[in-house]
Structure 1
């Protein structure tokens, strides 16, 4: 079993690492202002980060999923907000377009995603349909000319800056989740509106919005895949998204660890660096062990995806462990920093706020445990 990265993967990781560290001060400024940075997004696109998994024929890099994870890890270490753009474009938007899109849809939207000329949004959650994705109430009524959409969405990442959405709606409400379909909606379509932009605990430079649809008309060609296949598209897409979120968990854990090691070596108490004390060393040992375990779970899920193997359980395992690991490691790092860690001038304070979201979006930890539990019981039946 080969755990080493290829030369190309090492090159990609190093390029992303250099970019991330150079970008970090600007990202911090955007975070402090709670502003989306079009300038950083443009530079990420120029470096190919927004189209990592998009084939070269559509303007992307055509990379494997592991290479993409190497990039999002480095970006997330510098800024979770900026990693949201990379993750959204590669895992939640590019995948369903690649698998279910028509050639015309791919040419229009994939190329735009990869080059950064178009920003996208994945719009699934609703006020009464979070973990129960099949319970959405937004409708898309079929007409002679296309579909008429009515409803509302919440927690839509980058919805206020998006040029288009992958929207999930009921084309046949009587069929329940089997009546869900996916549609491509341009945000300049009459009847579409951005509602409240949420005030959040963390990840402040990535807008999270309410969206509303009032008699929004789209052509038949806006349908992504087949009618009634929306739940399948949504869940398949979320599998890849969960591996991506797991990688950001690894990134946050790694960043918290490095900050803790640096501070423990520099901070002197009782005549010694606190790194000399066994209590600190044990915290660092636990952090290092958990980070490595999370990374291997994440890379294994990515490997299965790249090999075309089933990876739903592995994706949930990676997301569950990596995101909860990040919270534990960040807490330990905060304890090592002591009172200074509570101050905004220390980065661990921002990580402490940012990390919680990863345990919630693209399926809460409880949903991941449900997915894993059902899978292992099915395997043993």
Structure 2
């Protein structure tokens, strides 16, 4: 009988503890309820219930009394975690702080407000945007022959380049006040998808100036003089931009770039001015072979304190804008990335540039990593997902048509269940990609720079593209292998590694941005706790950490 009473009291206390957590009672009420339950079980059921009751009572008292709570829980946790945490560089801190969050935060938190989601406006093309898709984009597509571009010309024909420049394809994001189109994210995505349905080369050539490039950086961070100098030319195609980020030994780890800019005085146009002595070697830079203006990411150093802060010599990653014609800049030979879009090297040794070449001016020295993270985040959510969506929808149309007309054993192969399994996946994935486009561009149209959401878009869209094209290759078989003008899959299949790799390789994107930055940016307490653990003022940090830790535990 005693054993039964003990088990009953234990069951009651555990059920009460479960109820406290399930109904999310606050710390004070929850602790009082737990203490009362333990005492009542000991009085009315059996004193042996104190075997579990005493630890519950002691823990509840600790939670109720602030000095005990801090001394016995928060302080040990703070000390252990602060010692275990690796030091965070300025670059790493800026990477985590960069960007904003949108609907993905609701998903990460596990309790999305679907009514709020339903109220977001459905992306639509404006009359001007629809006209551009129906006319200029349609005309451009009619001029493109990807087989000839890829296998013979190894470049877009001159008349195509001129059409792209004249019709404003390179200035879709630039405001009308500077001569651009000022189109929405949804319009950019639709335009790039339609171009990609005819030519990956043309799509990439139009995509880069409208995603990660000097135009995007100038719009958000440029000085008035820089905007007036470059944006009109970028809009009308008289200026062709490229951006040099990747170095031979620094790809996904962009923070490890060895390229430098040393603050010093030098001669520029006959005058002694404050500037930067630049040394850089960039690789795999799209549009570099034909660029007229080059954006560069480098590490800025000020050993003599010429920028005004004698205590600070290392500023970190900085972005600058340099004309390709600047003395000493060397545009190297073209790379061959498996598709004939322009891609190559940019190098410079001991090149002097004025300090006002920094995008945003001297005040933006050392702020390049944040600028890149935020601007790349926007482009990442539009361009590559648009290419993937085009691949998915074209595969749906063409592979489905092929499966209907191709016969084996006197039956259309589209009637085979194995083929139907693949084509049904293609259809559902194409629908998902189009839905994804609407969701992501809706978020971008709301403003802000949702870095985690766009990382998710890039990763899942390009991985889905890989899956869809592989299904298409299985269905079409030898027809998709033998190269020729009528092969509608081979060039897309060949381009998959480009989509998977650029703008953040997918493994990195998934591990560092979706999971790493996602957990930091979307959790209500984690990032602030991490900052407190890195704080130099340990006493003040501990006080704040004590409050946050128990909010975190209650939230969990």
Structure 1 pair 43–102 and aligned structure 2 pair: CA distance change class (3 A):
same
Structure 1 window deviating more from structure 2 (345-354 vs 258-267): it is 258-267
Q: Distance in 2 between matches of 1:100 and 1:357?
A: 29
Give 1:258 shift.
Answer: 1.9
Structure 1 pair 177–74 and aligned structure 2 pair: CA distance change class (3 A):
farther
Query: Is 1:168 aligned to 2:304, yes or no?
Result: no
SS at match of 1:24: coil
Among residues 328, 339, 352, which one is paired with 2:467 in the alignment? Answer: 328
Query: Is 1:373 aligned to 2:515, yes or no?
Result: yes
Structure 1 window deviating more from structure 2 (11-20 vs 117-126): it is 11-20
Correspondence for 1:362: 503
Correspondence for 2:243: 122
Q: Distance in 2 between matches of 1:120 and 1:318?
A: 25
Give 1:67 shift.
Answer: 0.8
Correspondence for 2:85: none
SS at match of 1:85: helix
Structure 1 pair 41–335 and aligned structure 2 pair: CA distance change class (3 A):
same
Among residues 417, 437, 447, which one is paired with 1:308 in the alignment? Answer: 447
SS at match of 1:114: helix
Structure 1 pair 43–375 and aligned structure 2 pair: CA distance change class (3 A):
same
Query: Is 1:92 aligned to 2:92, yes or no?
Result: no
Query: Is 1:262 aligned to 2:381, yes or no?
Result: no
Correspondence for 1:294: 433
Q: Distance in 2 between matches of 1:228 and 1:112?
A: 27
1:20-39 pair list within 5 angstroms: 20-25=140-145, 27-32=146-151, 33-39=153-159
SS at match of 1:183: strand
Give 1:319 shift.
Answer: 0.4
Query: Is 1:227 aligned to 2:362, yes or no?
Result: no
Give 1:4 shift.
Answer: 6.1
Among residues 353, 361, 365, which one is paired with 2:494 in the alignment? Answer: 353
Q: Distance in 2 between matches of 1:62 and 1:229?
A: 26
Q: TM-score normalised to the size of structure 1? A: 0.93
Structure 1 pair 302–101 and aligned structure 2 pair: CA distance change class (3 A):
same
Q: Distance in 1 between matches of 2:192 and 2:401?
A: 23
Structure 1 pair 4–54 and aligned structure 2 pair: CA distance change class (3 A):
closer
Correspondence for 1:189: 326
Unaligned runs of 5+ in 2: 1-117, 266-272, 304-311, 527-556
1:9-158 pair list within 5 angstroms: 9-15=129-135, 18-25=138-145, 27-32=146-151, 33-93=153-213, 94-144=215-265, 145=273, 146-158=275-287
Q: Deviations over 1:144-181 (max 9, x none)?
A: 32222112001111111100111011112898995111
Larger-gyration structure (1/2): 2
Q: Distance in 1 between matches of 2:409 and 2:138?
A: 38
SS at match of 1:15: helix
CA contact (8 A) 1:134 1:176 kept: no
CA contact (8 A) 2:205 2:342 kept: no
Q: How many residues align?
A: 378
Query: Is 1:215 aligned to 2:357, yes or no?
Result: no
Correspondence for 1:337: 476
CA contact (8 A) 1:53 1:90 kept: yes
CA RMSD of aligned residues (A): 2.1
Correspondence for 1:242: 380
